[in-house]
Every structure is written in structure tokens, then in C-alpha cells.
Structure 1
Amino acid sequence: MNLWIQLKMHGVHVPHHKNTAAMPAVIMDCPKSVTIPMSMHIGTPARPLVKVGEYVKMGQRIAEADGFVSSPVHASISGTVKKIDSFLASNGRRIPAITIESDGLMARCESLEPPVYHNQQEFLQTLTDSGIVGLGGAGFPTSVKLTVKNMAKIDAVIVNGAECEPYITSDTRTMLDQSRLVMEGARILQHQLKAPKILFAIEDNKPECIALFEKLCAAEDAMEVCSLPSMYPQGGEKVLIYHTMGRLVPEGKLPIDVGAIVINVTTLASIARYLEHGLPLVRKCITVDGSAVKEPKNVVAPIGASLADVFAFCGGFKAEPKKVLYGGPMMGIAVPDLSEPILKNTNAILAFAEDEATPPKTTACIRCGRCIGHCPLRLMPAEVEDAYAAGDVEKLAALKVNLCMECGCCSYICPAHRPLVQTNRLAKAKVAAYLREQKQKEAAAK
């Protein structure tokens, strides 16, 4: 069934580069060590439970959630805790992390078994214990996302299989190789959330996935496939809700406020796997690709494995990598060091040779308005750039820069190659700092 809305949100058409779409995921060899950050999710970092010198087994909880919006962390290999220290992450922040030296056995923690739950509250606690977070990139703790006070507000659960970023095919392989787990996860959520319907949102550049899930949904109650045109950023939460349900998420509101819950397809499969086997989130399917990679493939890697180890498993490099990214070329983050680890929400690592890594020369804005015309949320990046350069925080707030989802459409479409999305990020931070300062002044005045 095609529920494409006639008046669509805007975006851009990018080259797909889905080079690994036909490659089933391969399980990576056990690395010699892993470095597992305590913050791989939105919210408070997890609190370590182990000590240096302690022996741990795969699946053992090594850090506990420290607050409601947090997530526990589990050992992805068996071995000895060698270090508990902070490391400089690619986002510039120092994050506490636990380094485990492997014993080569990948011995599983004996206490792991399929969880038992009898009601929704116990189900949500089970999800918290699993360490599962949003695996599409955001990393929001899944148990928190699914904590809905009034379940009657839910009109649909949207399973996000759009995977609109170029190069990335890990979700595609989840849909093709783990369709049983995806469907089981959908049934579980449908029951626990009392959702009237499940919508599988898949871009039309994945005809195999669409055909498979149309066949699977035909045997289910209130489950259907939404075949959506291939457009970036089709997988953005607000874009997806509009293009499947025809509903706009208002400023300052959440998807549940318009009757929707959006969950990534790999997150859904991970929920079903945990409930079936009891093994928490300790490994992740990622796409390894880019012009510098010798053997692009989809890899199942332990959380905390270094990028260097993952690239080595893919044959290393055929050209010197001039730029390495966590994620895709549109929203990915540049990685300064190959010692950086695979995170829970890493869905790809890309390495590009010099000819693709060198950015084009930036020239003056020609006031063409393309950035405005292609922004999914109809923001005005060129105006934001001017206001930011002028230090006009009030104008930045009036331009609603905080609504920016940082999809990168503006930078991609700009003929002058202006770094618009980067400016938007800086502008958002400036507005946030200004609002904090205003609150402090108001509090002090009382």
C-alpha cells in the first residue's frame, strides 16, 4: 500500500551508493581489545560496576543506567578489564570508558536467559535491562521512548526502514536477513502498546524489502507497508510521520502528540532477539564502505571494537583514507583517529580517498534560495548564516533554528558550497546558551 502524501515535505535526491545492499552481514573476528564508552545514548552516562583487573564475560553488565534517561552497558567480549578512564570522543567531549582485553573465548555470561515479564511496566524494565537504544542513529533509550502514559493516544507505530543515507545498507540487511525477528518485534510492540496499526516505511529503492514485507504483512492484522519515494531525508522522524500519516509534528511537540511512535527496524529486531535469547545489545551490524576501503561489506562488530580493527577485517585500505566518517556522508561525523570505537548507534563507518574527501572551495552566497526550497522544515539557512555572523541571537530564535534536524540538505544543495548545516549547529548552540542565561537571570531576579 502506498500512503505517499500528495503535498510532500521537501528534500534532495542524492546518489544512493548502496554498494553493499546485496551483501549479507559477516560476523567479525574477536578483536584483541574493546573500549566501551559509558555514553552511547542520549541522557546521563552509565555508571561503571566493574574494577580494573576484574574478569568479565560477554553480555555481563559492566555499567548500570544512572537515571531514567540512561542505559546500561554490557561487555561485548570476555576478558579482563584493563582500564577505566576517559577518552576524547569524536564529538570533542571526554567520555568515561571501560577497556577490556580479550581472552579470545567470547565466553557468554552464564546468568543470561530470556527475560520474563507479565505487564507493560515489567516489559519496559526488560528493555532497560537490555541496553537497547535507538539504533538508527539517535541513540535515545528505547525503554524511555516506549514509556507512554496514555496508550490510547497511539494511532500507529511506524517501523523506520527508509535508510535514506547514501552508502548505508545495514538496515536493509536486517530486513532481508532477520525478517522473522523484525516481524516478531512488531507483534510484541503491537501487543504491549495496544497499537491499532503497524506501518513499515520503506523507500522504493529497496524493492526486495518491500516485496518481502508486503508478503509477511498480508498474514498479520493491521500491519501494512508504506512504499515511499527515495528522497533524502525520508527517514527523518518528522518527515516520515508526515509521509506515512499525513500529520505534522508541531514545534515543541513529540511524535506521540500526533499519535505516532517511530522505531528503527534494527532496533525492533534487537528487541525480539533479546526477548528470545536474553543476550543484551553487545554487537551491531554496520556498513563498511567508501572509496578507500579495500573490501566493502556489512559487518557484525562487537560494541567497542576500534575502527582500525573493523577496517582491517575488511581488508584494510586500497588508498590512503583522507576522511573517515561515523555514519553516512550527509549526517556523519568526521573521525580524527581510527582508535575510536564502534558505538551502539553506529550504523556505518566510511573511509574516502583524497579525491572524494577534499571539500570544494566556498564562495559567496548568491542568494538563490535553494537552501530554503529544499529544507524539509522550510527553514531559512541563508538567513540563519547572516544572523549568526551578526551575533543576532534574537533573530536566530525567530528563524526557529532550533527546529533544524541537521540533515545537511542545505549544504548539499548550495551552489556556493557554504557550510550551512555547520552554521546551523553553531547557531542552535548559541540560542541554547542564550536561553539558559535568560533563565538564570530570571531566577536571580526573583
Structure 2
Amino acid sequence: MLRTFRIGGIHPPENKLSAGKKIVRLAVPKQVIVPLSQHIGAPAQAIVKKGDVVKAGTLIAKPSGFVSANIHSPVSGKINKIDAAIDASGYKRTAIYIDVEGDEWEESIDKSDKLIRECHFSAKEIVDKIAAAGIVGLGGATFPTQIKLTPPPGSKAEILIINAVECEPYLTSDHILMLEKGEEILVGVTLLMKSIDVKKAVIGIENNKPDAIKHLKKLASSFSGIEIMPLKVQYPQGGEKQLIDAVMRKQVKSGALPISAGAVVQNVGTAFAVYEAVQKNKPLFERVVTVTGKKLSNPSNFLTRIGTPIHTLIEEAGGLPENTGKVIGGGPMMGKALISPDVPVTKGSSGVLILTKEESVRKPMQNCIRCAKCVNVCPMGLNPTLLMNATEFKSWEMAEANYIVDCIECGSCSFTCPSNRPLLDHIRMGKGKVMGIIRARKA
């Protein structure tokens, strides 16, 4: 019997319209916009100025805090300006504008397709190369990878879990990456294992990707300590705590980190980026992005440079349909509507979803009927309707006492609510307020 997590969960329509579509490398645009805030934590600090000439892979911004990450130029050309730009959040944030001239890469980058399996670097050297390359979690959370690989004193990892679940409807970028770059991913997994000194890794893949499971199982037979684990299809299995429960049968306590259960979790796309960083000296300046939608003429998976305007990807997928209602950054469950298709691709851009006007219109909200469906599906065991009420009435103490900070914002509650109540919208707002109160209290 296939494993899955044991609390809550739903099974929304999968709509994997771009499944099996090979990765297409997009042409380099005429200009890129590279935000300095494209990871969790402090924005990076620009180290270039207007007029500077850069190559693809040139370091252009350094971390400005402990939780931060390097940013590299995704193109060759000249710095046009450092100015504000609207990002996926809808807010204006500092970004570096680069006018493209040719496509020259830093000489240290190995551009060949030759697979390099052997690694002679120490664990510290691997972590240092990952930090230097600006690797962050590519599943959407964008947490700087080098910090995850450096557990707090007294903590020791027992297992590396690779998140290849891709449970978000519509998205297929991880799926196609496993099919096309399986060996590189497995080498990346061995590098991550070495960096945290563990002998076992489990790659969790939902059972709706049988071709990826079969392919990686065949390849993994020549790698020591790597297990491919098929999982029951259940959303949101891609959440760290849910995946740990599915793989290890361990619950991570409220407020605790995955390392408390002896696990380090990394996305499968991150494992590939680690391979490129350590074995090829290639910083993270491009990634695979799914562009999809029911009315889109050519749903696709594109390898695109960071900073490329999203409208460029949409045009390559056939252009915006006439009845477009919303453009979503990410998938339908956890993604957010973009204020403009001119928003640039960032390290955390896993997908772009085009919704029709019919799909994007909310149904009228009705009174709660106390059916408890939201409670039953919450993967964190919370009471969403209580947390929504606490937010509406600004009862921040009640919200905190009922673990609003534990919400992973998966949207299962809103999806299942028969009264169409915007539970997640309110909880997300309340969670932000409570987290601010907690930070102020600690300060």
C-alpha cells in the first residue's frame, strides 16, 4: 500500500496539461530585470553599478544577512540601472536591469553536457560552493540551501528526503526535469548526502508519475543509499512536514524544524542545481518553468533565464487567450495572481498558470454551515474557520493560541468549503500579523 501523510489532505483535479512536453530552452531576451529579493530572508545587496559589463554567471549581488543568498547575472551585457520593479508580490522592490549583448558566460563554468559523477570536495567545500552559487529551494519556498545544510549545534541529520512530489495541480517542471536530467539529479543527491553526512536518501515521487519513478529507479541502482519511494497522490504532500510524515512516519512538532525529526528536505530541482553548482561551477541563473492553462494553445516547460519577463514565456506558449481572467505565478492552490505579465521570472518561479474569466471569478461567500470539512482536510490539524474568525475580529491572542503560525497556506480549506468562504485569505493575513507580534515581543 502506497504511503502518504496521515492528517488531512485533498485530491484536486491534476490538470497536468504540459506533462511529457520536453524542456524548451528559451532565447535570451533583450533585457532582464533581476530582483534583489528572490529568496526568503534579507534582500541581496548589489555590488555592481550602472555601466558595468557582466557575463552570465557574474556575481552581481551579495547576501546582506545570515538568511540571504548570492545573485548572479543571468545574461551578458551592460547594467542599465538599479531601480524599483514590480515583482510577483505586486510590490515595487529593488532590481538590477541588464541590457543583453550576446551570450558570453564566465570562463569558470563548464558548459558541456558531459556527466561528472566523481566528487573530491569535502562536505564544507560542497556547502561553500552551493552558497557561492546562490542556490535556494526551487520548490517555491526559496530558502537559502546552505543554511538547511548547516543544522544547529546539537542537531544531526539521519536522512535526506528529496521532494519530487510536485503535488500542485498543472505544474510539471519537476516531472520533466527528472525524465531529462535524472543522472544529474542523482549525482546532486549524493552531493547533498555528503554535505550533511548521511548514508540514506529517499526521493519521494507521487504515483501519477510512473515514467519518472521507473526511470529514476533504473538509474538509482548504480548509486549507493538512494531509494525511490512511490507515494499516494495527495495534496499537499509537497509540504516538508507532510513529506516527512509520509516517508518517515514522524510528526514534526509545532514550531520545530525538520531537522528535529532527523530529516533534511530538498526539492528535486534544487538537487539538479546543486549538481550544476558543484560539478559544473554554474551559479543558479536559469530554471525550468511550466507555462500552462486550459485555454493556452501550447502548454510547455521552458528553461529560461532569471529576470526574463513572464510575458515572453506566455508568448512562446501561444500567447494570452482572449478570455484570460488571471495570470497566476505558481499553481492554482498556492500561487498568487500577478499584477502584470511584465513581472520577471525569479528563482522561485516554478510555473505560470493562465486562468479564464470563468475560472478566476469567485463564487459569492455564504455563511459557515459548521460542516467541519475545512478541519478534516487541514494537513496541519488546525481549525481554519476559527482562525478566520479570529482574524476578522482581530483576536490575535486567540489566533496565536490556536497555532495560526503553523498554517502552510496550502489552500485545502478554501478549496473544500461549500460556503465559498475565503478562509486562506484571512488566515494568511492573520498569520502575518501574529508573526509580527511575535517578532516584536522577542525584540
So what's the TM-score if we normalise by structure 1?
0.94
Contact residue 2 and residue 232 of structure 2 kept, 8 A: no
What is residue 78 of structure 1 aligned with on the other side? 76
Q: What displacement does 1:16 show? A: 0.5
Q: Distance in 1 between matches of 2:420 and 2:132?
A: 45
Q: What displacement does 1:69 show? A: 1.4
Structure 2: 5+ residue stretches without partners: none
Amino acid at match of 1:169: T
Q: Deviations over 1:217-257 (max 9, x none)?
A: 23333221211111100111000000100011111211111
What is residue 226 of structure 1 aligned with on the other side? 229
Amino acid at match of 2:177: T
Q: Deviations over 1:32-86 (max 9, x none)?
A: 1100001110111111111112221111111112222111111111111111012
Q: What displacement does 1:317 show? A: 2.1
Amino acid at match of 1:22: G
Q: What displacement does 1:117 show? A: 7.2
Between stretches 319-328 and 28-37, larger displacement belongs to 319-328
Q: Distance in 1 between matches of 2:388 and 2:303?
A: 40
Among candidates 284, 289, 293, match of residue 286 of structure 1: 289
Contact residue 50 and residue 62 of structure 1 kept, 8 A: yes
RMSD value, Cα? 1.9
What is residue 375 of structure 1 aligned with on the other side? 378
Q: Distance in 2 between matches of 1:23 and 1:92?
A: 30
Q: Deviations over 1:111-145 (max 9, x none)?
A: 44699974322221111111110000000011111
What is residue 65 of structure 2 aligned with on the other side? 67
Among candidates 13, 16, 28, match of residue 14 of structure 2: 16
Contact residue 3 and residue 245 of structure 1 kept, 8 A: no
Q: What displacement does 1:313 show? A: 1.7
Q: Distance in 1 between matches of 2:339 and 2:270?
A: 28
What is residue 103 of structure 2 aligned with on the other side? 106
Among candidates 353, 357, 360, match of residue 357 of structure 1: 360
What is residue 53 of structure 1 aligned with on the other side? 51
Amino acid at match of 2:191: I
Between stretches 316-325 and 111-120, larger displacement belongs to 111-120
What is residue 130 of structure 2 aligned with on the other side? 127
Amino acid at match of 1:30: V
Q: Distance in 2 between matches of 1:425 and 1:260?
A: 27
Q: Distance in 1 between matches of 2:309 and 2:324?
A: 16
Q: Distance in 1 between matches of 2:329 and 2:429?
A: 20
What is residue 444 of structure 1 aligned with on the other side? none
CA distance 1:3–1:221, change in 2 (3 Å): farther
Q: What displacement does 1:152 show? A: 7.4
CA distance 1:437–1:221, change in 2 (3 Å): closer
CA distance 1:303–1:136, change in 2 (3 Å): same
Among candidates 242, 249, 254, match of residue 257 of structure 2: 254
What is residue 425 of structure 1 aligned with on the other side? 428
Between stretches 51-60 and 238-247, larger displacement belongs to 51-60
What is residue 443 of structure 1 aligned with on the other side? none
Between stretches 354-363 and 129-138, larger displacement belongs to 354-363
Q: Distance in 2 between matches of 1:8 and 1:165?
A: 18
Q: Distance in 2 between matches of 1:85 and 1:291?
A: 36
So what's the TM-score if we normalise by structure 2?
0.94
Q: Distance in 1 between matches of 2:22 and 2:154?
A: 37
Q: Secondary structure at the match of 1:322?
A: strand
CA distance 1:118–1:212, change in 2 (3 Å): closer
Q: Distance in 2 between matches of 1:27 and 1:438?
A: 48
Does 2:223 align with 1:203? no
In the alignment of these two chains, the number of paired residues is 437
What is residue 348 of structure 2 aligned with on the other side? 345
Amino acid at match of 2:50: V
What is residue 94 of structure 2 aligned with on the other side? 96
Q: What displacement does 1:437 show? A: 4.6
CA distance 1:272–1:378, change in 2 (3 Å): same
Contact residue 154 and residue 196 of structure 1 kept, 8 A: no
Q: Distance in 1 between matches of 2:104 and 2:138?
A: 25
Identity of matched residues, %: 36
Q: Distance in 2 between matches of 1:81 and 1:150?
A: 41
Among candidates 402, 410, 413, match of residue 410 of structure 1: 413
